[in-house]
Structure 1
Amino acid sequence: MQKIILSDHTTAQLNAVQQERQRQYHVRLFSYNEAMIKHDERKVQARARLAEAWNQRHVWETLSGFFSMLGAYVIRKPSRPIMQGAGDQEKIWCAGNEGEKKVENFLSSNLDDQWTLINGYKNGKGEIDQILVGSRGVFAIEIKYSNGTIFCDGDRWWRDKYDQYGNLVETNKPIADKRGRSPSRQVNESSDLLQSFLQKRYPSLRIYRSIIWAHDRSKLGVVNNLNVDYTAVVNDWDLGRFLRNSTYQLSQDEQQRIIESIRKDHTYYNQPRR
């Protein structure tokens, strides 16, 4: 399977969050080192004052210097900072990155070089995680990394989450992005816009939409009124059935023209604006 990367938003966001966590750690480490320098200087100065007072046989200055030095040694050292663990946002991007790689590996092991996987397409309605182009047509793939049993009724998606011991810990938790869009709305809105663009050249072309669940503990529950063409857990993905959703037979030339059109459309929406 051939691969084209238009953008790697998930990896870029993950790297940005990790770099910010490292930056904050180094800021705290710099402050710690400065505090340690002052702490050590305080002890050196106290010893010097005591030595000078002792050499000059100044009794009161010697007593004062002794207590000053004692205080300098009693003061608690600053605590060395530790690298903070990954926060919730970093875990989300890490999970998304892992899910995309898992889907890509599955497709690579099951499809030959007659297929092309496009990563990171983005238009005015949002991003499509992956677009698969081949002789059978164009397939938009929305990838979700959700732990639990997934339920659906139309454009409403939710999950029940279980811990590693099988205990129910969350129920009826909505699955949506920051804008409140469910997985089906996410993939459909972006695919509709891309499809309308491609239909200017291929009037009968339809993008087939799917939602793939990539977490090891993802499981599909009751799914009603599905508003996409296909949904499955990656480990149970019936690729033959998935591809049979399309009735197209695209030639190699048609595939290449569609791929170039997708690339140009992505570039149009992601170029710098005045």
Structure 2
Amino acid sequence: MGEEALVHGLLGLDDSWVMLRGYHNRRGETDHVLVGPAGIWAVEVKRRRIRLHVMGEKWWYEKLDARGNVVDTGWAVDAGGRTWERQVTEVAADLAAWLARNGHPVPVRTAVMIMHEQAQLGRLENQSADVVGTRSAHLLEAIGRYAIPLDPQSCEAIVALIERDHQFHQRRRGR
């Protein structure tokens, strides 16, 4: 549901953008990889009614009820104990290295998106993700701010490489 909210919010991107969903590599999985004329983005999406706090490597949340009251707290980590930021940045770094080895030395930007209509951002300090946001507009603004121009031929080649890498890792997992 959160992923669908993000997809809907990114309809403002033109048809030159390609969204690859559920990308896997040797460092794990991320929900989306966007490739387009302004660069490459790895995006991790969470759908939670929370207030997210970040202080460098410490990521935690306050779970909110429908009225905005805090009802619980927890660490913002994946099943392996990595912060959501580390989850997406490790996948992105491995993807960037793969692309560079295959003739496309382009950075892969990162985003952690909390896509719930009542999600909030609390204290954000020293995060390494390029964007942490609660609305698709936050990602769209960052895409413009961190643009790395890619021509259509490069985009097409990069998408093919990403799909090839994903398929390789899917076969290795036996799926």
Q: Post-superposition shift, 1:205?
A: 0.8
Structure 1 residues 134 and 236: CA distance shift in structure 2, 3 A? closer
**Does residue 243 of the first structure (1) align with residue 144 of the second (2)?**
yes
**Contact 2:85 2:129 (C-alpha < 8 Å) held by counterparts:** yes
In 1: Cα distance, 2:69 partner to 2:47 partner:
20
Aligned to 1:252: 152
**Contact 1:140 1:209 (C-alpha < 8 Å) held by counterparts:** yes
Aligned to 1:158: 60
Structure 1 runs not aligned, ≥5 long? 1-97
Aligned residue identity for 2:100: Q
In 1: Cα distance, 2:164 partner to 2:118 partner:
37
Normalized per residue, which structure has more strand? Answer: 2
In 2: Cα distance, 1:140 partner to 1:238 partner:
11
Q: Post-superposition shift, 1:236?
A: 5.1
**Does residue 265 of the first structure (1) align with residue 168 of the second (2)?**
no
Aligned counterpart in structure 1 of residue 24 of structure 2, from 110, 122, 126: 122
Q: Write out the 4+ residue segments of structure 1 that deviate beyond 4 Å after TM superposition.
A: none
In 1: Cα distance, 2:145 partner to 2:29 partner:
25
**Contact 1:151 1:157 (C-alpha < 8 Å) held by counterparts:** yes
In 2: Cα distance, 1:140 partner to 1:152 partner:
19
Q: Structure 1 length normalisation: TM-score?
A: 0.60
SS of equivalent to 1:271: helix
Which structure has more relative contact order (CA 8 Å, sep 6+)? It is 2
Aligned residue identity for 1:237: H
Q: Post-superposition shift, 1:238?
A: 5.5
**Does residue 146 of the first structure (1) align with residue 48 of the second (2)?**
yes
Aligned counterpart in structure 1 of residue 80 of structure 2, from 176, 179, 186: 179
Question: Deviation digits for residues 90-119 of structure 1, max 9, x if unmatched?
Answer: xxxxxxxx01111111112x1110111111
Normalized per residue, which structure has more helix? Answer: 1
Q: Post-superposition shift, 1:170?
A: 1.5
In 1: Cα distance, 2:77 partner to 2:117 partner:
20
Aligned to 2:97: 196
SS of equivalent to 2:63: strand
Q: Post-superposition shift, 1:249?
A: 1.5
Q: Post-superposition shift, 1:243?
A: 2.8
Aligned to 2:9: 106
Structure 1 residues 111 and 235: CA distance shift in structure 2, 3 A? closer
In 2: Cα distance, 1:156 partner to 1:223 partner:
10
In 2: Cα distance, 1:223 partner to 1:194 partner:
26
Q: Post-superposition shift, 1:223?
A: 0.2
Structure 1 residues 273 and 186: CA distance shift in structure 2, 3 A? closer
**Contact 1:230 1:242 (C-alpha < 8 Å) held by counterparts:** no
Aligned residue identity for 1:198: L
SS of equivalent to 1:215: coil
Structure 1 residues 271 and 176: CA distance shift in structure 2, 3 A? same
In 1: Cα distance, 2:43 partner to 2:173 partner:
28
Aligned to 1:226: 127
Aligned to 1:214: 115
SS of equivalent to 1:151: strand
Give aligned pairs, total. 174
Q: Post-superposition shift, 1:273?
A: 7.0
% of aligned pairs identical?
Answer: 29
SS of equivalent to 2:101: coil
